[in-house]
Amino acid sequence: MPILRDFFIALSENQFLNKAAQKYGLKLGAQSVVAGTNIPEVIESIKELNKHGISCTVDVLGEFVNDRAEAVKAKDYIIETIEAIHENGVDAHISIKPSQLGLKIDFDFCYENVMEIVGTAHKYNMHVNFDQETYDLLEPTFKLMEKVSETYDNVGTVIQAYFFKAKEYAEKYKNYRLRIVKGAYKESPNVAYQDKNDIDLNFIEIIEYSLLNCKFTSIATHDHNVINHVKQFVKDHNIPNDRFEFQMLYGFRKDMQLQLAKEGYNFCTYVPFGSDWYGYFMRRLAERPQNIQLVTKQVFNK
Ligand code: FAD
C-alpha cells in the first residue's frame, strides 16, 4: 500500500494540521498509542508497565522545531521529565529527537540543549537514546552523539535498516548502545531501500551483526517473524539476555509485549507523551494500514 503510506507520511509533515491537532488534546484514536499529555499521566503509564517487568523509554513528543524558544522549552520539559522519572523511582530512560532540540536551527545550539539533558540524566545513571529521524539529520545526529560522548557515556542511537549504509553505521557505532529499526520516514531511492523484502533482509543482517558485536542491542519491531528469528539466533549463539532487549511502541501488540517479558526477555516499551502527538501518530498510520482501526474504532465507539 505505498500510496496510503505516502499519504500519511505527507500528512505527518503538514505543519498546519500539526498545530491544529495540538490545540485539541488527544484525538482520532491517538490516546491508545500516546501515554498521556502530561508528566503525572506518563508516570502512571510507566508504573503500570513496570508492574509487568517492562522497562520504558520515554519520548516527550515534538519534532522539526524551527524556533529557538520552542527548542529551549522542549529541553526544559525533557529535564523535568527526567527529574520526575528519578523522583518516582520508576524503571525508565529517555529518548530524544534532536530536531525537537534545534538540530535544524544550529548544531551548536542543539548541542548545548542536548548536553544539559544528557548531563541531568547522567547524574541519575539514566540512558539517553538519540532517535534517528529523516536522512538530512542522520549524519548530524551521529556527530551530535559523538560530540556529547566525549563528556558523557550514557548515550546511544538508532540504526535505520532501510538505508544502504546502515550496516556501515552499525559497524562504526558498535561501541554504543544501539536500537535497530526498519525506518519510519519516506526516503529517496538514492539512499534507501524501497522494497519491504530488501528492508527486512538488511534489518536481519544488522540485528545479527549488532547482537554479535555491539555493546547492547535493542531490537525495536512489532514483526513476529523477526522476533522469532532473534529468539533462535541468540539461542544458537549463546548470547546472554543482558546483551539485548526487545522494544515496541506503547499501545501496539500489548499481548506480545507482556508475553516476551513473561518469557524472561528484557523488554522496553517506547512511551511517547505530550500534546505534539500528530506527526508521531500519522507515521504509525503510514506504517501499517490496519492501524487505521485505531481511528475508526474511536469514531464508531462514540
Ligand atoms: P512492520 O514492517 O510494520 O510489520 C511487519 C509485520 O509485523 C506486519 O506485516 C504484521 O504481520 C506484523 N505487525 C506489525 N505491527 C503489528 C501490529 N500492531 N499488530 C499485529 N501485527 C503487526 N523509526 C525511525 O526511523 N527512527 C527511530 O528512532 C525509531 N524508533 C523506534 C522505536 C521503537 C521502540 C519502535 C518499535 C520503532 C521505532 N521506529 C523508529 C519505527 C520503525 O522504524 C518502523 O517504522 C516501525 O517499527 C514499523 O516496522 P516494524 O518493524 O514494527 O514492522
Cell numbers linked to 34: 500516546
Q: What is the pTM of this model?
A: 0.92
Q: What percentage of the chain reaches a pLDDT higher than 70? A: 87
CATH of 35-276, one of 3.20.20.220, 3.30.565.10, 3.30.420.40, 3.40.190.10: 3.20.20.220
Say whether the ipTM exceeds 0.85: yes
Q: Give pLDDT tens digits for 185-228.
A: 989 999 999 999 999 999 999 999 999 999 899 999 999 999 99
- Nearest residue to 90 via CA among 276, 217, 219, 268: 268
Question: Is 221 annotated to bind ligand?
Answer: yes
Whether ligand 1 lies within 6 angstroms of the CB of 132 is answered as yes
Looking at ligand 1, which atom is closest to the CA of residue 283? 45
Q: How far apart are CA 192 and CA 199, in angstroms?
A: 9
Distance 302 CA to ligand 1 centre (A): 28
Mean pLDDT of 13-36: 71
Distance 132 CA to ligand 1 centre (A): 14
Q: How far apart are CA 159 and CA 179, in angstroms?
A: 6
pLDDT of residue 78: 98
Q: Give pLDDT tens digits for 281-292.
A: 877 777 776 666
Is 153 annotated as catalytic? no
Whether ligand 1 lies within 6 angstroms of the CB of 270 is answered as yes
Question: Is 283 annotated to bind ligand?
Answer: yes
Q: What's the mean pLDDT when you consider all of the chain?
A: 91
Pick the catalytic residue from 177, 179, 200, 276.
179
pLDDT of residue 54: 98
- Nearest residue to 37 via CA among 276, 294, 284: 276
Question: Is 183 annotated to bind ligand?
Answer: yes
Least confident of 14-18, 67-71, 108-112, 204-208: 14-18
21 touches 277 (CB < 8 A): yes
Is 68 annotated as catalytic? no
Least confident of 15-29, 99-113, 116-130, 169-183: 15-29
Q: Hey, where are the domains in the chain?
A: 35-276
